Amino acid sequence: MYTLSNVSFSYGKRTILDNIGFSMESGKCYALLGANGCGKSTLMTILAGSKKAAAGTLSFPDGTVCNLKTSGRSSLIGYVPQENPLINTLNGYDNLLLWYKGSGSELKKTIQSDLIQMLGIDSYLKRTVSKLSGGMKRRLSIAIGLINSPRILLLDEPSAALDLPCKQDIAKYLEEYNKKGGTILLTTHEEAELSLCDRYMILKNGHITEHEPGMPVDKLISLF
C-alpha cells in the first residue's frame, strides 16, 4: 500500500492542497479528477518531485518514506507530464538515454523488456523527435517515465490530443502495466481512460474524496 499523508501546498495565500491524504494499492489504477485549476497537476508534480510541498509524506510498502518537501525521487516514481519532455533535435534513443539511470548498454537491454516493447517504439528510436507524430512522441514520453522501472507511474492526461487508435493502444498498455504490479495515478478528461481506473480521487477545494468507479458522468461532474 502506498500512503500519501498530510500534503499541503499553497500559491501565496491561496491554498491548493489542504492536508490531503489517500492510499493506493499495488497493481491498481487511480484517477485524479477535478475541475480545471483545482490543483490536479500541482499534486502530480509534487508527487513526482518537480515541486516541493509545504508538508506531506509518501510511504511505500517496503517502509520507504519520501518527504514531499524535497525533490528528486525519480527512481521511485515515473512521471509523464501532459507536454512531452523531449528534446526535438535529438533522436528517440538519446532522449531515453538522457533520463536513464544506467549505462547505454544497459539501456539497450531495458528497451528489449516486455513493457517497453509493448509501446512499440523500436522502429523510430533512431528518428529525430521533431519528425515523430503526436502518438509516437506520447509513447516515447511514457517510455521515458517507465525506463527506470518506477513503482508508481504518474500520467497527466496521457491520451490528450491523440487519435482513437492511439488512445486504445495506450489504454492497453496501462492495463498491462497494472497487471505486472505497477501502480498508476492519472489525470484525465477521457471517459475511456476512466473505465480503466479502480478508484476515483476527486480534488475539490483542496480536499480529496474517494469514490467507486463506474458512476454516471452527470453524477461525477456534480462532485467537482
Partner 1 sequence: MIAVRFFLLQFKLLIKRIPQMILVFLLVVFLALCTLFMLNRIYDKLSPTEKEKDANYIAVVCPDEDNTILKYAKDILDQVMGSASSLFMKNENDKEGGNKLLNMFAGTGDLLKFKFMEEDEALNAIKNNQILAVLYLGQDDLNKIQACQTAELKIIVRDDSEYIPVICVELVNSFARLLTAAQASSLAIYDIYTNTELDGSLYGAMYDIDMSNFSYAMHRNSVYQRVTVDFSTTNSPISFYTATALTFMLFLVISAFTPALSDYEPSFCKCFKTRGIGIVGFTIIRLVSFFVFQFVTLTAVYSLVYFAFDKYFNDIFNEYGLTNMLGLNLSYGKAIPIIAIFALFSSAYVMFIISLIKNSEESLMIFFMFAAGLMLLSGCIIPSAFFPATFRSIMTFLPAWYIHKLFLMIIEGVSITKAGMVTYGIVCSLLLAVSAVLINVIRLRTDSNYEK
86 binds partner 1 (CB under 8 A): yes
Residue 4's nearest CA partner among 53, 74, 75 is 53
Binder to partner 1 among 29, 48, 121, 203 (CB under 8 A)?
Answer: 48
How far apart are alpha carbons 46 and 113 in whole angstroms? 29
Residues in 183-202 that interact with partner 1 by CB under 8 A: none
Beta carbons of 211 and 223 less than 8 angstroms apart: yes
Number of chain residues interacting with partner 1 (CB under 8 A): 30
Strand order of the β-sheet with 77-80 is 77-80, 152-156, 183-187, 29-33, 199-204, 207-211
Binder to partner 1 among 23, 64, 88, 195 (CB under 8 A)?
Answer: 88
Binder to partner 1 among 8, 84, 183, 188 (CB under 8 A)?
Answer: 84
Per-residue contact flags (x/-) with partner 1 for residues 144 to 163, judged by CB under 8 A: x-------------------
Candidates 44-52, 110-118, 163-171, 199-207: pick the segment binding partner 1 (CB under 8 A): 44-52
Residue 154's nearest CA partner among 16, 54, 41 is 41
Minimum Å distance from CB 42 to partner 1? 7
